[in-house]
Every structure is written in structure tokens, then in C-alpha cells.
Structure 1
Amino acid sequence: MTGFPNHRPRRLRTTPAMRRLVAETRVHPASLVLPMFVREGLDAPREVASMPGVVQHTRDSLRKAVASAARSGIGGVMLFGIPAQRDASGSGGIDPDGILNTAIADVVSEVGDSLVVMSDLCLDEFTDHGHCGVLDAAGRVDNDATLERYAEMARAQAEAGAHMLGASGMMDGQVGRVRAALDVAGHTDTAILAYAAKYASACFGPFRDAVESALEGDRRTYQQDPANLRESLREVDLDVAEGADVVMVKPALPYLDVVAAVADRVTVPVAAYQVSGEYAMVEAAAANGWLDRERMIVETLTSIRRAGAELICTYWAEEAAQLVRDAY
């Protein structure tokens, strides 16, 4: 009969089973990475006020939480350490007995190779000024002096057992310097996750609560300008050329165009980090009854995967593992 549609795409949306059958994008639990915080000196886990449901762990509670994460089927964990004392050079990040390096060893002994154990390779949690590198006499971040500290941190984390190091400081040449340090020390199998396009974003606010950041000022001289895409692609190219095994875009949701552009450009896996501010916004809106929390979790993760990220760091990783199983 004339006047009726010749094509009816709605046929493929009629039931949940039909929608699952033809879904173009799926998030698999093994693609999810759970960021975790461990703080020196705690006798019980402490909730992060701006990130409901996220805690600073003790070493003991971290081991239990990591075992649970492994059972959930997620792909990995990313560890961040919070020391009791900080100094100008971030020496706690290099100390084999420092909180992050001991936590790496704890986690590896707990879960072995059932999860990819990743560690944050950056000085900001360990410096008393809160920057991601050491400062020169004028108070500016000294790029090349910082690279030498990263090399020391990389060796310490690899020796503690980390499988993949998250080079997150946005220093020029960091991937090449870390790769060289690892190889010379015999850690040729330790992988590097390069935070290749890490933007100077307002979305990091709750994270700084989580790590009790001492930062004054900002990181705009080394983190990426939110206005720029082409510059980020240059950063990605340089990191790949220096030996990055995986490249990261951070944050995720405000930069899905960057995720897509990077995924189209490189032949290494692409990661995206759904950061603390993204998490906190959804949790706050859900607490006020403004949106469906579980649907929003799945929708945001699906959008990041659809943009091209094969790995997704998210504070919902363990919960989301079950949600995506149910959704798809």
C-alpha cells in the first residue's frame, strides 16, 4: 500500500533479545580496569567524600578488594599510593618499601596473573608541592630531571611486580626514558600504558581529594590544552614511537572525539579513563533522583567503547562487570 515506509528499522528494536542480537557495541568485563587507592597509616578503609562508594584502602583491605575484583572478571586494576610523608623529590614513590611499591607486591601475591596489575608512574602523590615532577630553582617543573625520577620509579614498580606501568605525568620523552630504564634492568616484559593525551581538566577535582593532593596552582604547562586535538595526536604519535604498548586518553566523556581520532590513528590498543569527576557527576545526579544510575553507567561505558577505546578505566568497573553482562 502506498504511503507506508519501505524500510522499518524498528523491527530490530522490538524486544530486548532482538536488541541484544544486533547490538553493534558491547562492553566486556575484561576490558574494564578498576582504579584503587591505598593509603599509608590507615587502620580501616576511609571513604572519599566526593566519590561515594570509593575508598582509600589499607594494605589488608586492598588485598581483599583486589581478590573480589578478580572474581568479578574485570581485566585489571590501577594502583595509586598515598604516603604519610611527602617531600620535594617524591622519594616515597621510589622507595621499595614505600606504600605504592609494597601495595603492588601485595596485590601481585594475592591475584598473580589473573588480573593485569597496573601502577601509577607519576610523582604527584609523593611530592609536597603536588606537581607531577621535580621543580627547578624558579619553581617550574623540570622535564628532564623528572625523567630520571620516572626511570627510578619504573624500576621500583617493575621489581615490585607490576605488569603495566601507567606513565601519567605528561613529560616530554617519558615513555622512551622509562622503556630504556626497564629494558636495561631486564624488565623487557613490563608494559607501558602511556597517558598520551591527558588534558588539564576540571574533571580531576575529586581525584585530588582521593590522593590528598598538595597541589597549588595548576598543571597546564604539561597537561594537554582542552582546546587542542591535533596537538594530542602529535603526543600520541611520539609515545607510540618511543615504545608505548597502550595509549590513553583522559578524561573520557568530554573527549570522545579524541578517543575516536586516536583509535583511527594507531595500531596499539587505546584506553580511556572515566575520571573521578565523571563518576561524581553521575553519582550526585542519581542521589538526587535525577537519572537512572545503572542505566547511566552502562550508557557512558558503551559510549566510550563505541568511540574506540578497548580498555576503560572506571571506578564502577567491578559493579559494571555485572551490569554489562545483564545489558548485553
Structure 2
Amino acid sequence: MFKRLRRVRLNSVVRNLIEENSLRVQDLIYPLFITHGENVKNAVASLPDVYQLSIDNALKECAKLSQLGINAIMLFGIPSLKDSIGSEALSEQGIIAQALCAIKEKFPHLLLCVDLCFCEYTDHGHCGILNPKLQSVDNDLTLEILNQQALVLAKAGADLIAPSGMMDGMILSLRQALDDAGFLHIPLMSYSTKFASGYYGPFRDVAQSMPSFGDRKSYQQNPANRREAILESLEDEAQGADILMVKPALAYLDIVRDIRERSLLPLAVYNVSGEYAMLKFAQKAGLIDYERVLIETMLCFKRAGADIIITYHAKEIAKLLNGI
């Protein structure tokens, strides 16, 4: 009883001194969706304040991010043409290769992270080359084009590569391909535990990556499985991943904690589009104290064990932390 009363009487200075977790602007990565054209800024109804941007507008956005102290971005591409193998992702003239060159030239201090996958680039919306008999992704053929995509992006100036397709053996394959090409210095942030989740809906609107048939359950994690989710991340660590990731974040904080307790690698969470949209629409409806809930959510990610937070809220968080 005495200890309980003593805690209640702590003043704010002491409370801050013993705070166990904190949130910093440096913890954040902001996703950008890049499309072809000039002066393009396409809004997406399901994802408020997030846009498809042409490279010229992406450069303007990078200037704003830099002013807020956000120094890491994650690039996603929206190609002009889609086909069965995602050919634009394999081209040195692809949209993300072009964006990397342009951003690196003007903002050399930014950490340029790239999502490595084919779902945005294929006409079928799946994450690689299809096996027609299985009507699902051919894992080994997809590894071959993932390696090609990674080398294109590394040559264009990517600082960090984040493979998201959940292919078996992708980290080992990518690490060898990058090392053999002289890119030993480029780290891999693996989407090591990525669930087949319903929280991705708005992302698929902005990235135009909805599967044309079926779903991705054959290569993404079952939300019901805890042990398998842990094993997936530990396997990617063994293959050479530099950073692990759990996606989505909010509904899977138990998995974040499980992995944190089993690995010493840096750990990222992706605060995905559905999580973001829920808070934004709750704010619009006047249902929550938005700023308070936003910071509380981010602190929960940190408390669970995340070092890095990929989030569409990054600009809002930076303004709050900077007192703007």
C-alpha cells in the first residue's frame, strides 16, 4: 500500500526520469509512393493525406521531411505498365530507379529504403512469378528476379533494401547476390514476419496492388500462428538479415515482444495502412483525442520492443515531438 501511494505522489520530473520508453523522430521511416509523370499528386480516399507522387513532387515532399528531421523514407513504385513478371522493376529506367537517382542527388543525407517486391508491378498482383499449376507464386523463380531487382536498386542508390515478398530463402539469396556484385555495405531489412492480414486494404488502393485472383495466404503468415511467426524471423536472421520486421504492428504486439526476446537484431514494425486509416477516420468522427492516441500507439510499439517504426503518421509525429 505504501509503495502504491508513493507512486501516485511522484511529480512530473521524477515521472519523466523513470520513464522506460521514449519516442524520437529518428525512430521513424516515412513511406512514399512514386508514379510516372510530372506534377502528379493523386489523393487516395481510403488513405487520408497520403498521395501518389511524381518524382518532382516527391522531391518537394523530401524537403518537407528534412525540415521536420525525418531522415529515412521507404519508396514504393507505381509502374506505367504491368506484366506477368513485373518487368519495370527489373529495368534501370524503372520508376523507383529513377526516383532513387533524383532524390540521392538532391538529398544525399536521406536514408533511402526501398521495398523489394513485385506485387505493384505484376498484372496479377501477386509477389512474383506465378506457377500456373499451383496458381500461386513460384518461390525459386521469384528469387531470381528479386536478385535482379535488388541489383538495379542498389546501382541506382538505395541505402537499404527491404524485401517484403516472404519468399523462402530470399535473404540468403539476396545477400549473396548483393555481396557478389560489390554491395556488401547495403543492409537488408527483412519483412521477416509478415501476416496475411486484412489491415492492408488502403495500401492496395494507393499501390494498386490488389491480387487479380486468390490471396497471398500461401506465402504470408497465418494470423493464428505464434510459433511459426517467431520461426520466420529467426530463420531470416540466420540467413543474414540485418534488421527484422513485424507487419502489421498494432494487432501483433505479442509477436513483436516474442521476437524481441529471442533476437538481438534491430527490430522494425510497419504501422500499416489499415491501422493508420482507422485512427484518421476516428479523428474525423471526433471519437478520440487523436494526438494523444497517436503518441500512445507509437509508444506501445516501442514498449513491445520495436526500434524502428514505418508509419504514414511520421510527419504528424515529428510536428508533435518538435512542438510545431
Question: What residue is the counterpart of 1:69 in the other structure?
Answer: 65
Question: What residue is the counterpart of 2:52 in the other structure?
Answer: 56
- CA deviation after TM superposition for structure 1 residue 261, in Å: 0.8
Question: What residue is the counterpart of 1:250 in the other structure?
Answer: 247
TM-score by length of 1: 0.94
Structure 2 SS opposite 1:200:
coil
Question: What residue is the counterpart of 2:294 in the other structure?
Answer: 297
Task: Give aligned-pair identity as a percent.
Answer: 43
Structure 1 residues 315-324 or 3-12, which shifts more? 3-12
Across the aligned residues of Structure 1 and Structure 2, the Cα RMSD in angstroms comes to: 1.7
**Structure 1's 25 and 140: CA in aligned 2 closer, same or farther, altered over 3 A?**
same
Question: What residue is the counterpart of 2:121 in the other structure?
Answer: 126
* Corresponding letter in the other structure for 2:248: P
- CA deviation after TM superposition for structure 1 residue 42, in Å: 5.4
Counterpart Cα distance in 1 of 2:2 and 2:59: 61
Question: What residue is the counterpart of 2:7 in the other structure?
Answer: 9
> Per-residue displacement from partner, 1:125-158 (whole Å, max 9, x unpaired)?
0000000111023222100000001000000010
**Structure 1's 171 and 289: CA in aligned 2 closer, same or farther, altered over 3 A?**
same
- CA deviation after TM superposition for structure 1 residue 65, in Å: 0.7
* Corresponding letter in the other structure for 1:299: E
**Is the counterpart of residue 81 in structure 1 residue 77 in structure 2?**
yes
Counterpart Cα distance in 2 of 1:159 and 1:31: 26
| Over 6 Å off, 4+ runs | 3-6
Asked if 2 retains the 8 angstrom alpha-carbon contact of 1:31 and 1:75, the reply is: no
Question: What residue is the counterpart of 1:38 in the other structure?
Answer: 34
Asked if 2 retains the 8 angstrom alpha-carbon contact of 1:128 and 1:214, the reply is: no
Counterpart Cα distance in 2 of 1:288 and 1:318: 21
Asked if 2 retains the 8 angstrom alpha-carbon contact of 1:41 and 1:84, the reply is: no
Counterpart Cα distance in 1 of 2:301 and 2:266: 14
**Structure 1's 124 and 311: CA in aligned 2 closer, same or farther, altered over 3 A?**
same
**Structure 1's 49 and 185: CA in aligned 2 closer, same or farther, altered over 3 A?**
same
**Structure 1's 69 and 4: CA in aligned 2 closer, same or farther, altered over 3 A?**
closer
Asked if 2 retains the 8 angstrom alpha-carbon contact of 1:298 and 1:324, the reply is: no
Counterpart Cα distance in 2 of 1:80 and 1:28: 24
Give 5+ residue unaligned stretches, structure 2. Answer: none
Asked if 2 retains the 8 angstrom alpha-carbon contact of 1:248 and 1:270, the reply is: yes
**Structure 1's 157 and 6: CA in aligned 2 closer, same or farther, altered over 3 A?**
closer
* Corresponding letter in the other structure for 1:10: V
Counterpart Cα distance in 1 of 2:272 and 2:72: 16
- CA deviation after TM superposition for structure 1 residue 324, in Å: 3.1
TM-score by length of 2: 0.95
- CA deviation after TM superposition for structure 1 residue 232, in Å: 1.3
Give 5+ residue unaligned stretches, structure 1. Answer: none
